[in-house]
Amino acid sequence: MQSKYKILDQDLIHNPTPRVAVCLCLDISPSMGIYTSSGIPIDELNQGVATFYNAIQNDARARYAVEVAIVAFSSNASVVRDFGSILDAVPPRLQSCNTGGTSIGTAMATCLKLLEDRKQQYKDTGVDYYQPWLVLITDGTPTDDTHISAALDVAEQVRKKQLTVIPISVGVGVDSQVLASFSPKIAPLKLKGLEFDKFFQWLSASVCQVSMSRLDEDFQQDMEAAKSWYDPL
């Protein structure tokens, strides 16, 4: 683990560009692999993530500023990708689980830990950073109670303006109140069909704009542009 951090720290030392940390918390429970009239959710999600990577890598400034971590979850959460340079990164190909539940709280707590660790590394190496983003995408309701304590921790950071949370629901089986508990600022947004590609285009445009803003600027998401991919819950 120490050698991993040394490699990451070298990137921070040699590239002092202020960072935008984006953590994707992605549901890979069995329902994400079920065919729908719009396609298979997990396939469309993978395409959206690839679109996000491509857009960031092709932006002259964001490619050096944006760092992406990915946490996938069903009954448990796993770190698919820890924070680091996205410059030459290849987007992962996620697979839905054959069995399992939806432990949103475990996943969000894992994301929060990754973000806290990375912010500490920024501080240790003298690299400035923008308010991090945490994107939650799920098509289900929690199958355990871990979301209760995790939501308190996440929401506290949002209220302190230390974190931006974007909660996205897919399909009709999501408990919007659970998503709202993580995000006191931005209300849960329901994806139109499986418009993951449009969502990730919007997300990449948003974080690219963040990377060009002042560190002390209160960035406002373009929710008018977001109407192409979401319906209010």
- Please tell me the predicted confidence (pLDDT) of residue 177: 97
- Please tell me the predicted confidence (pLDDT) of residue 13: 82
- Please tell me the predicted confidence (pLDDT) of residue 8: 55
- Please tell me the predicted confidence (pLDDT) of residue 218: 87
- Please tell me the predicted confidence (pLDDT) of residue 2: 44
Q: What is the DSSP string of 16-73?
A: -PPBEEEEEEEE-SGGGGS-BTTB-HHHHHHHHHHHHHHHHHTSTTHHHHEEEEEEEE
- Please tell me the predicted confidence (pLDDT) of residue 160: 97
CA 38 to chain centre: 23
What's the number of CA atoms in the CB half-sphere (13 Å) around residue 27? 30
Task: Tell me how far CA of residue 21 lies from CA of 97, 128, 142, 201, in angstroms.
Answer: 27, 11, 26, 17
Q: What is the pLDDT along the chain (233 residues), one digit of tens a residue?
A: 444 444 456 788 888 899 999 999 999 999 999 999 999 999 999 999 999 999 999 999 999 999 999 999 999 999 999 999 999 999 999 999 999 999 999 999 999 999 999 999 999 999 999 999 999 999 999 999 999 999 999 999 999 999 999 999 999 999 999 999 999 999 999 999 999 999 999 999 999 999 999 998 889 999 999 999 998 77
Query: What is the model's pTM?
Result: 0.95
* Closest among 20, 31, 110 to 71, alpha carbons compared: 110
Task: Tell me how far CA of residue 13 lies from CA of 6, 17, 69, 121, 183, in angstroms.
Answer: 10, 10, 19, 10, 33
- Please tell me the predicted confidence (pLDDT) of residue 180: 98
Task: Tell me how far CA of residue 225 lies from CA of 125, 162, 182, 184, in angstroms.
Answer: 36, 24, 23, 21
Domains, the chain, ordered by start: 2-232 (3.40.50.410)
- Please tell me the predicted confidence (pLDDT) of residue 9: 65
Could you tell me the two tokens for 179?
């998503």
* Closest among 30, 98, 31, 65 to 209, alpha carbons compared: 65
